[in-house]
Amino acid sequence: MDRLTHKELRDISERLYNPADMLQVMQNFLNTGGDTRMRLYLSGRGDYVGPNERPLYDWHPTLQQCLMRGFIVPAIKVLADEPHPDERNYGTVQMCKEILPITEKYSLPFV
């Protein structure tokens, strides 16, 4: 798989500055990437990862903070508030309800 150049990444990020556009891109990526492929990639066993790469471990702390504070914690809050989850998402909603007090008690992330 070819890697994007720094300029290409910068051009994409400038077009996705609007939060709604960025969330749509993330949703599209997750919906087409599939859960198994994402888990394999993050664990370093996917076909996107070279032999010496460590996904997420080498992220800049600011990126981790932005992702946690700007996306993951708000997503946990929204999912924890889901009044009638379907059977497929029931476990996710329950987990978010249990995690939510932790996100309110501590300042995330632990970077």
Q: pLDDT tens-digit profile of 44-102?
A: 676 666 667 666 676 777 777 777 888 888 889 999 999 999 998 899 999 999 999 99
Ramachandran angles phi, psi of 43, nearest 5°: -85, 0
Long-range pairs of 23-31 with CB within 8 A, sequence gap ≥ 24: 23/71, 26/71
The pLDDT, as a whole number, for residue 55 is: 67
Could you report the per-residue pLDDT of 18-53, keeping only the tens digit for each? 778 877 877 777 777 666 777 777 776 766 666 676
Which amino acid, residue 71? F
**Is the bond preceding 109 in cis, omega lying within 30 degrees of 0?**
yes
Pick the closest to residue 93 from 104, 82, 109 (CA basis). 82
Q: What is the pLDDT of residue 94?
A: 96
Q: Where are the domains positioned within the chain? A: 1-58, 59-111
Nearest to 48 by CA among 7, 9, 3: 3
Q: Which two three-digit tokens encode residue 59?
A: 């992220």
Q: Which comes out higher in pLDDT, residue 58 or 11?
A: 11
Cα-based torsion angle of the residue sequence 72, 67, 9, 19 in order, rounded to the nearest 10 degrees: 60
pLDDT band at 2 (very low <50, low <70, confident <90, very high): low
